Structure 1
Amino acid sequence: MSKLLEMTLKYNRDKFCPLVLAIVEKTMAYSNRGNTLTKEEIEDLNKLILKLNFKIPELWSNKFLDLLPSTKKEKAEEVKLDLSVHKNILYELTKLNPNERGFAFEKFLNNLFDATKLTPRNSFRIVGEQIDGSFQLDSSTYLLEAKWQSEPIRESELLVFHGKVSGKATWSRGLFLCYNTFSSESLIAFSKGKTTNIIGMTSQDLFFVLEENISLPDAIRYKTRWAAETGEFYKSIYELINIY
């Protein structure tokens, strides 16, 4: 088949596109035998044909493409299932006693980050410091601080984490994730006159993600962008999706 395409392209260029279209139609006719073409495969084919300075309108039709099965949809359904499971687990954590909850919360976050392809690393210790974990997003490494406590997070706690992140590589970033919320004093302090390399996330943000309003990677991207634009450490995902 590849030889036929090569020879047609070389000696009968006017018949190349009809030949490709015929091959696609033939393949689809045998879809019930396990040769189903996916939307992504046709999109890849279209890109290759464009490089040869050809374009087959029938294969670019949205009506045609939408009829094809999509591997992205399958992956999205898998993530959707994972998120529903994680949501139930997070609810169950509220029933644990405080001593058990902290470790369980870290484990929950590690599993959630793994499910959303953020390549997490479990908590680790370096000289004089305990780091709850780290993850990667868009080639950036984020250090993680995770806390589940009844009181709002104070400015002093943010300053300690800010110092941990600042003491690493200049390109390091940090995510402070608390189940409760941040005190009004800490939010004011981290929105005026301080450069920040950390962002904040609360359980409200987490549930917003787990209810499939936005993906976890995009939620972090929005928060990082807001911090870069305004210098503010925290803004809720609910507010950010109405901005971006």
Structure 2
Amino acid sequence: MKVQKISTQALIALKDALANVYWRKKELRQFIELTMENSYIVSTIDWQENPKYESVSQLIDRMVARQAMYQNDLLRLLQETSNINDFSHLKYWDDKGDLTKRAKESVAKLRAQTKGYFDTLKELNEAAEKRLENIEKVKHTISFAEKLNELKNQFLELATSLNHQQRGFKLEKLLNDLFHLFDLQPKAPFKLTGEQIDGSFTFDNHDYLLEAKWQTSQVNAGDLYKFGGKISGKLKNTLGLFVSLDGYSSECTETGSPVVKSMILMDGQDLMMVLDGRIRLNEMIFIKRRHASDTGEIYFRISGL
């Protein structure tokens, strides 16, 4: 279908709007992929290392260079981005309202530049139902941050609780929900035994035993030796994740016993970094495991990065 040429001003406005309507790169990329039909080109951009505007600019420029293939997708991006009128997904990141204001202004400028482009694109209008489905998928992704924030608020409430038994049961559910949120496949509900939570999960083709403690004193090396014994009783490649919300004694980090070399350690500060959204749980586990493999140190403080 032959359509009128897209102006340079409209393309600049599109780049600006795309860079502002989503805060997280993952959500922006998903919105673009769901909007386009020929979305393979999206994977040719380095979304992780590039700033958002640079990634968007590279994508649009590459599409413009091959308009015979991507003209309809450019028009779809123009239309779908200019149709955005709900910016509530920015609220979590936008205490002062600056992000929302910038997003609204950039979308308004895009609308002003795109008037008249879609009069002959009946195919796009007929795809309204699919567009709504795509928007729902993006909203589902955005709700991730909201669910994580709910878990954070629950944890902060638990931290002030004086009922240690009740705190333990609620922590059991919180950790279970957290591991489900990050698709870490808890094999069975995490079970509370005394001050200790036991469970298991799978990550990156490795099975992990989980042990979590929330007590008034730091975990000592004896606790790690007991956990190491549990791990050694499982299949050869089974690993362990020990979570101590009140930290570890110096003997835990100084021990050279081979029985602890199949586990990695997390503390309460690590957990708060995950709940704050500063690092994803699966990324934290990967970094700690890689560091332990490279150095033999099972207690790597992510906060020091």
Structure 1 length as normaliser, TM-score?
0.68
Contact 1:141 1:173 in 2 (8 A): yes
Aligned match of 1:170: 236
The one of 108, 119, 122 aligned to 2:189: 122
Deviation at 1:224, TM superposition (A): 0.9
Structure 1 pair 64/181, CA: closer, same or farther in 2 (3 Å)? farther
Aligned match of 2:203: 137
Which ranges in structure 1 are unaligned for 5 or more consecutive residues? 1-18, 26-36, 49-54
Task: Verify: 1:47 aligned to 2:13, yes or no.
Answer: no
Task: Verify: 1:108 aligned to 2:174, yes or no.
Answer: yes
For 2:235, the aligned partner's letter is: A
Task: Verify: 1:202 aligned to 2:267, yes or no.
Answer: yes
Which ranges in structure 2 are unaligned for 5 or more consecutive residues? 7-29, 42-61, 82-133
Task: Verify: 1:85 aligned to 2:78, yes or no.
Answer: no
Q: How much identity, in percent, do the aligned residues show?
A: 35
Distance 1:220 1:75 in 2: 24
Q: State which drifts further: 178-187 or 65-74.
A: 65-74
Distance 2:33 2:204 in 1: 22
Corresponding residue pairs, total: 195
Aligned match of 1:150: 216
Aligned match of 2:299: 234
Deviation at 1:131, TM superposition (A): 7.3
Q: CA offsets, 1:37-79, max 9 Å, x none?
A: 952146672439xxxxxx963449xx98986668785444211
Deviation at 1:157, TM superposition (A): 0.2
Q: Secondary structure at the match of 2:286?
A: helix
Deviation at 1:193, TM superposition (A): 5.8
Structure 1 pair 152/124, CA: closer, same or farther in 2 (3 Å)? closer
For 2:221, the aligned partner's letter is: E
Distance 1:213 1:44 in 2: 33
Structure 1 pair 159/74, CA: closer, same or farther in 2 (3 Å)? same
Distance 1:76 1:154 in 2: 40
Aligned match of 1:4: none
Structure 1 pair 118/43, CA: closer, same or farther in 2 (3 Å)? farther
Name the structure where helix makes up a greater proportion of residues: 2
